[in-house]
Amino acid sequence: MRYLFLVIMSFLYAADNDAPLNRTRDREIDVHHIKIDVSVDIEAGSVYGHVVHTFSPLSSSLVSFELDADDMNIRRVRIKIRISNLITLVVSCISGWISPLDGTIR
């Protein structure tokens, strides 16, 4: 009887409905390609360059989205709409990030 109680309690513990602590957030875009062009200055301890993201929105009502990165300063963002619903986002940056990039499509 004691073993049956332990088995039932282990199933109840495994059936926890709480979401994981580091759940992946829902995506607003489908990334097709990322082109990275950077220059590294080892003496100065910095990286400079630009990144081109090609993506399409997962919803026709997409207004904004976020791209996560770490330790960068964004200097310029250009949005070019190409064929169909593919969108190209060009990000020019230097090391030393301020906050997540928020791209707004109008």
pLDDT number for residue 99: 41
Are 70 and 60 contacting, i.e. CB atoms less than 8 angstroms apart?
no
pLDDT number for residue 76: 74
pLDDT number for residue 105: 43
Is residue 55 in a domain? yes
Phi, psi of 83 (to 5 degrees): -70, 150
Count the domains in the chain: 1
pLDDT number for residue 98: 41
pLDDT number for residue 17: 63
Is residue 1 in a domain? no
Domain that holds residue 40: 25-104
Q: Which of 60, 68, 61, 105 is nearest to 87 (CA)?
A: 105
Q: Which of 61, 36, 63, 40 is nearest to 50 (CA)?
A: 36
Low-confidence ranges of the chain (pLDDT < 50): 94-106
